[in-house]
Amino acid sequence: MNPKQPLNPPTQQRALPGLTEKQIARLSVYRRLLQELPSASRPEIYSHDLAEMSRNTAAQVRRDLMTIGFTGSSARGYQVEQLIAAIGGTLDAPEGQTAALCGVGNLGRALLDYFTIWRPQLRIVAAFDIDPEKSGRVIHRCRVWPLAEMPQVVREQGITVGVITVPAPSAQRVAESMLGAGIRGFLNFAPTPLHLPAHAYVEEMDITTSMEKVAYFARTLAPAPVEES
């Protein structure tokens, strides 16, 4: 819902015709699945295999790869290594990209642990917290700064992604600070939709809503078929 428009303005050099949110999400999943393939397996893969792994249809996979201009060979499928690289060419910033996290609480610490050891292509490189007990320390190899330092740190390191794990009442204010410091993309774990101008991108990670969805469908879905005897 964030990008209602075709979502790709006359961007920079990367001239891909506006990929949508869903396409980007699927490409990300494809890549991760491909990277996890045991290297013993064949160097090619079929669309229907990738589809099965990612819980999609083969047609969906083929069309997604079509949109990034990647082409396989009939009867042998797609070259795994090349495909990983091609998806990377779309998803990854050539120069790399870095993220900042604000709110080093229960959730924030878990994410820090996860995304600092993670791939070099997209790492959390700075954290911020209002609590003076926390700022100044280094948690999971990531330095925690006081809020006042945010503008400088973000600008100096060229951080473009912000992860918000502060309590809900602070989320909007924190997001605006990050935006002011130059951050353009937001991953918001606080249970409050953020209101930011159109040139910012916001992804809501609403875990409570997801729980409620699961609970609802766990009740509502068709029951298991009775097994014949």
Ligand X SMILES: NC(=O)c1ccc[n+]([C@@H]2O[C@H](COP(=O)([O-])OP(=O)(O)OC[C@H]3O[C@@H](n4cnc5c(N)ncnc54)[C@H](O)[C@@H]3O)[C@@H](O)[C@H]2O)c1
Asked if residues 47 and 72 have their Cβ atoms less than 8 Å apart, the reply is: yes
Of residues 4 and 219, the one with the C-beta less far from DNA: 4
Per partner kind, with CB cut-offs from 5 to 8 A, the member of DNA, its own copies, ligand X, none near residue 46 is: DNA
Q: How far is CA 49 from CA 26, 58, 85, 87, in A?
A: 14, 8, 19, 17
Member of 59, 66, 110, 117 binding ligand X (CB under 6 A): 110
Q: Which of 34, 87, 100, 111 binds ligand X (CB under 6 A)?
A: 111
C-beta atoms surrounding 222 within 10 Å? 5
Identify which of residues 58 and 107 has a Cβ nearer to ligand X in the complex: 107
Compute the distance between CA of residue 182 and CA of residue 203 in angstroms, rounded to an integer: 17
Instruction: Report the residue number, 76 or 173, with the smaller CB distance to its own copies.
Output: 173
> For the window 131-150, what string marks contact with ligand X as x by the rule CB under 6 A?
x--x------------x---
Minimum CB separation from ligand X for residue 136, in Å? 13
Quick one: which of 27, 31, 47, 142 contacts DNA (CB under 7 A)?
Answer: 47
Nearer to its own copies among residue 12 and residue 73 (C-beta): 12
What is the rounded CA–CA span in Å between residue 183 and residue 150?
10
- Contact (CB, 8 A) for 196 and 179: yes
Which residues have a Cβ under 8 Å from the Cβ of 82 and sit 6 or more positions away? 70
Q: 161 with 98: CB under 8 angstroms?
A: yes
By CB under 6 A, name the binding residues for ligand X: 102-108, 110-111, 113-114, 128-131, 134, 147, 165-168, 170, 174, 189-191, 207-208
